[in-house]
Every structure is written in C-alpha cells, then in structure tokens.
C-alpha cells in the first residue's frame, strides 16, 4: 500500500473509532468535518446537510466559520447534490 493510501486508511479508522460511540448529531458532524479536513490536508472543512423540506443546504459544522444556509440549487455543492440525485435514478 502506498504512503498516501496508508494515511487515508489510518485517518478513516482513527475517526471511525471516535465517531462510533457518539450519539449527538452535531458531535458526529464535527468529527466528520475534522476527518475531511485531515484527509484533504486542509485548513477548514464543511460538512453539508441536505434539508429537502426547506429546499436548502446547511452546515452547523464549518470549521472556522459560522453556520451557513444556502438554497439547494446553489453553488458547487448544490450542483453536486443535483448530479448525485440524477445518478441515483439511472
């Protein structure tokens, strides 16, 4: 396994161990954001949640920034969700 693949696997298992006992939704999202930040070697990471009822994307977990709410059809994340949903029905 390459160094990068080893790092990815180690990081995933490290965070799965932290996430497994958690029961609070916000705590789980925070650990997922930390894992994403570590995997991407980034300063910040945002975990987006689809709110179909209100037709928006939101995030309480944006490391380094306040909560964000945007229309579901908005931006790169909205386009990715739209494409994902389209592919689900093919």
Q: What is the pLDDT of residues 21-67, one digit of tens each?
A: 999 988 998 899 899 999 999 988 888 888 889 999 988 765 666 77
**Predicted confidence (pLDDT) per residue in 63-79, tens digit:** 666 778 889 988 888 88
Q: Which two tokens stand for residue 62?
A: 């944006």
Confidence of residue 89 (pLDDT cuts 50, 70, 90): very low
Q: What is the pLDDT of residue 2?
A: 73
Phi, psi of 43 (to 5 degrees): -80, -35
Tell whether pTM > 0.85: no
Contact 44, 30 (CB under 8 A): no
């Amino acid at each position: 396994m390459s160094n990068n693949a080893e790092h990815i696997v180690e990081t995933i298992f490290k965070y799965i161990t932290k996430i497994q006992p958690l029961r609070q939704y916000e705590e789980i999202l925070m650990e997922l954001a930390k894992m994403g930040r570590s995997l991407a070697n980034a300063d910040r990471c945002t975990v987006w949640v689809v709110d179909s009822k209100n037709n928006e994307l939101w995030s309480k977990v944006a490391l380094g920034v306040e909560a964000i709410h945007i229309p579901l059809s908005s931006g790169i994340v909205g386009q990715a969700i739209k494409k994902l949903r389209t592919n689900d029905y093919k």
